[in-house]
Amino acid sequence: MKSEPDVFGLDDLVNAVNKTTTWEGVRNYEARNFMRDQMKVGDGILFYHSNSKPPHVAGTATVASKSYPDPSQFDPSSDYFDKKATKDAPIWYLVDVKYESTFPEPIVRAILQDDPICGEMMLFKRNRLSITPVTSEEWLAVHQLAGVKPKR
DNA sequence: GCCAACGTTGGC
DNA sequence: GCCAACGTTGGC
């Protein structure tokens, strides 16, 4: 899952109540579908800092809830308000995300891309998607680059 | 700051 | 339903 560190970085997740946040504001159908249909409580998340120099994976988090309607779509004062959405027919979904770990060193994008396994991640194929799936093989390979034993 | 990729909007 | 215009993301 991508986030701009200037807006909400891994450190902000560490400092959040219960080290948990609602991943609100995703307004792309494909990214929504990954949260709504594929994420399960306890799944691992690579926390990626986009728009940073250089972009990198900062650490990990976990999926902390089932998917549910993103409340911001109903809030007229929110930037993420969607007037087409109703409580009966929500459009946008999210999951709660809980902090898990910070890598000893950030894994920068270029290093990931050069790795034979990590270089195949959907991250590199769908540059503008803010959420992309990671295979268990890729998950292990990222942890190997980080020099960290994966928790799952 | 530039620009490629690409999703969305709206006229027809 | 098509497609041009436009806006956004995000790497470089």
Residue-wise burial string across A106-135, b where 16 or more C-beta atoms lie within 10 A, e elsewhere: bbbbebbeebebbeebebeeeeeebbbebe
Residue nearest C8, CA–C1′ metric: A128
Q: Is the C-beta of residue A128 closer than 7 Å to nucleic acid chain C?
A: yes
A103 touches A129 (CB < 8 A): no
Cα–Cα distances in angstroms (integers) from residue A82 to residues A27, A93, A130, in the given order: 9, 12, 19
Domains of chain A: 2-146 (3.10.590.10)
pLDDT tens per residue, chain A (152 residues)? 999 999 999 999 999 999 999 999 999 999 999 999 999 999 999 999 999 999 999 999 999 999 999 999 999 989 899 988 999 999 999 999 999 999 999 999 999 999 999 999 999 999 999 999 999 999 999 999 999 999 88
Q: How far apart are CA A150 and CA A141, in angstroms?
A: 10
Task: Tell me the CA–C1' distance in angstroms for A140 and B11.
Answer: 50
